[in-house]
C-alpha cells in the first residue's frame, strides 16, 4: 500500500503486475472527493472510470476545467467516412464527447510540442500529480507513480500554472510563469515544485544529484544522451558514486539513449521489456541517498526540458538539518526505492 506522511501520499502501480497500488482507483477516489472544483491538466484522457468520476463531479455542481493534448483527439489519417466512429484514439474522442455533453470546460493545448502534464488540483486544497496518464495502459500495465499532496499553498501553485496553461502560456509560450522554483514544507516533508521549460528541471535534477553522497537510484522511461543528466551521472561514476537504475527497454535501445555510456562507466542497469502483463516502464523517478525523491512527468530528454509542458516535484532536502524532516522524507524515499528494487528484481533484465 501507499506510503502516507501526514498530507503527503505516494503511490506506485499498477497492482496487476505486482506493485502495491491501483492507480486508477487512486485517481478516481481523488476526483470523487471534490466538493467545489477540479482543474485537470493531462496529456491523455482515455480511462472510462476516470472520465465517469469527472462527470460525477460536474453532476455534483463542481466547477470542472480540463486541458488535454490534442494529438489524442485527432485522427492520424484522413478517414474515408469522417462521420463514422472509427480509427485510432476513438475511445478518447468518445470520452471527449461525453465530457462536452456534460457542459464541462475542456480545451486542447496550443503547444506544438507535447503537452505532457499529468495533474489535478482539487478544491484549491489538494494536488494529484505524477507520471501516470489517465489511460487503461497508464493505470493498469505501465509502471507509474502518483503523488497526492493535501496543502492549500501547493494546490494554489498548480492552480496558477493551470490558469496560465488555459491562456496558452506554456511550452515556448512561457510568458507569465514564476521566476524561480517554489518551495513548501508539508507534514515535515520539504517540497520543491518546478515547471518546464521556465524552471529548467534538468539543471535542478543535476544540482540535486551533485548533493548526493551515498548512492543514486532511478527508474526512467526515456533517458537521452542530450539531457545533461547523463553527463552528471558519468562524472559521479568517475568519483565512484554507486548508480543503479531501471529503464524502458525499447527506449534504452535507441541510438540516442544514454544507457551504453552509463553502463561502460560502471552503472548497474536493468532493461524492462514489454511482456507478461507489463507495458512500459513509464516512471520518471529518482531517489538520492535513500532520502530524496524526484518525480513527476519529466523525462530526461532535451525536448522535455526546452519545449514540452512538464512538472516535477522534489520530496525532501539532502541539506536539511531537521531530524523530523529527515525522518519524514526517508520514509517516502524508502518506499520509492523499494519499488525501484522490485522492478529490477521482478521485471528487469540486467545489462
DSSP SS3 for 261? helix
- Whose cell is 461525453? That residue is 98
CATH of 3-166, one of 3.30.450.20, 3.30.870.10, 1.10.8.60, 1.10.8.420: 3.30.870.10
Rounded Cα distance between 300 and 149, Å, is: 24
CB 147 within 8 A of CB 130: yes
User: What pLDDT is attached to residue 197?
Assistant: 77
What contacts 254, CB < 8 A, 6 or more positions away?
Answer: none
Q: Which fold has domain 194-350?
A: Endonuclease; Chain A (3.30.870)
> How does residue 72 score in pLDDT terms, banded at 50, 70 and 90?
low
Taking only the tens place, the pLDDT of each residue in 300-345 is: 877 666 666 788 999 999 999 999 999 999 999 999 999 999 999 9
CB 202 within 8 A of CB 232: no
Q: Mean pLDDT across the chain, nearest whole number?
A: 90
What contacts 255, CB < 8 A, 6 or more positions away?
Answer: none
Cell numbers at residue 351, please? 545489462
Say if residue 236 is preceded by a cis peptide, omega within 30 of 0.
no
pLDDT for 170 beyond 70: no
Q: How many CA atoms lie within 13 A of 105 on its CB side?
A: 13
Mean pLDDT of 200-223: 95
Which of 122 and 308 is assigned the larger pLDDT? 122
CB 99 within 8 A of CB 113: no
End-to-end, the C-alpha distance of the chain in Å comes to 30
- Kindly report each contact of residues 158-165 with a partner whose C-beta sits within 8 Å and lies 24 or more positions away, as own/partner: 158/39, 158/119, 158/121, 158/127, 158/129, 158/193, 158/311, 159/39, 159/121, 159/124, 161/41, 161/195, 161/311, 162/39, 162/41, 162/65, 162/67, 162/119, 162/121, 165/41, 165/67, 165/109, 165/117, 165/309
Query: What's 285-344 look like in SS3?
Result: EEEECCCEEEEECCCECHHHHHCCEEEEEEECCCCCCCHHHHHHHHHHHHHHHHHHHHHH
Residue spans of the domains in the chain: they are 3-166, 194-350
Q: What are phi and psi of 175, to 5 degrees?
A: -65, 145
pLDDT for 174 beyond 60: no
Instruction: Dump strand ranges (E) for 43-125.
Output: 63-68, 105-108, 118-122
Which of 93 and 104 is assigned the larger pLDDT? 104
CB 249 within 8 A of CB 272: yes
Amino acid at each position: 500500500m501507499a506510503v502516507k506522511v501526514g498530507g503527503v501520499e505516494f503511490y506506485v502501480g499498477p497492482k496487476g503486475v505486482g506493485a502495491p497500488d491501483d492507480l486508477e482507483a487512486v485517481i478516481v477516489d481523488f476526483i470523487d472527493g471534490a466538493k467545489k472544483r477540479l482543474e485537470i491538466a493531462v496529456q491523455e484522457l482515455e480511462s472510462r472510470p476516470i472520465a465517469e468520476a469527472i462527470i460525477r463531479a460536474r453532476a455534483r455542481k463542481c466547477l470542472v476545467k480540463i486541458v488535454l493534448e490534442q494529438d489524442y483527439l485527432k485522427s492520424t489519417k484522413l478517414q474515408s467516412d469522417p462521420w463514422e466512429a472509427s480509427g485510432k484514439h476513438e475511445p478518447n474522442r468518445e470520452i471527449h464527447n461525453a465530457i462536452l455533453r456534460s457542459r464541462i470546460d475542456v480545451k486542447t493545448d496550443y503547444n506544438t510540442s507535447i503537452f505532457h502534464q499529468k495533474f489535478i488540483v482539487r478544491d484549491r486544497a489538494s494536488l494529484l500529480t505524477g507520471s501516470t496518464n489517465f489511460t487503461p495502459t497508464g493505470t493498469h500495465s505501465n509502471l507509474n507513480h502518483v503523488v497526492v499532496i493535501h496543502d492549500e499553498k501547493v494546490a494554489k501553485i498548480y492552480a496558477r500554472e493551470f490558469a496560465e496553461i488555459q491562456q496558452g502560456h506554456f511550452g515556448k509560450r512561457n510568458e507569465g510563469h514564476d521566476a524561480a522554483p517554489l518551495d513548501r514544507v508539508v507534514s515535515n516533508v520539504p517540497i520543491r515544485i518546478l515547471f518546464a521549460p521556465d524552471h529548467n528541471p534538468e539543471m535542478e535534477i543535476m544540482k540535486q544529484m551533485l548533493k548526493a553522497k551515498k548512492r543514486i537510484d532511478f527508474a526512467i522511461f526515456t533517458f537521452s544522451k542530450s539531457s545533461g543528466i547523463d553527463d552528471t551521472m558519468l562524472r559521479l561514476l568517475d568519483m565512484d558514486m554507486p548508480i543503479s537504475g531501471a529503464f524502458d527497454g525499447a527506449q534504452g535501445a535507441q541510438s540516442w539513449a544514454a544507457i551504453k555510456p552509463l553502463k561502460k562507466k560502471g552503472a548497474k542497469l536493468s532493461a524492462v521489456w514489454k511482456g507478461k502483463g507489463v507495458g512500459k516502464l513509464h516512471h520518471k523517478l529518482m531517489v538520492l541517498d535513500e532520502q530524496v525523491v524526484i518525480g513527476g512527468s519529466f523525462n530526461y530528454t532535451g525536448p522535455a526540458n526546452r519545449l514540452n509542458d512538464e512538472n516535477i516535484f522534489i520530496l525532501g532536502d539532502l541539506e536539511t538539518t531537521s531530524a523530523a524532516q529527515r525522518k519524514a522524507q526517508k520514509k517516502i524515499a524508502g518506499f520509492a526505492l523499494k519499488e525501484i528494487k522490485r522492478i529490477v528484481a521482478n521485471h528487469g533484465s540486467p545489462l
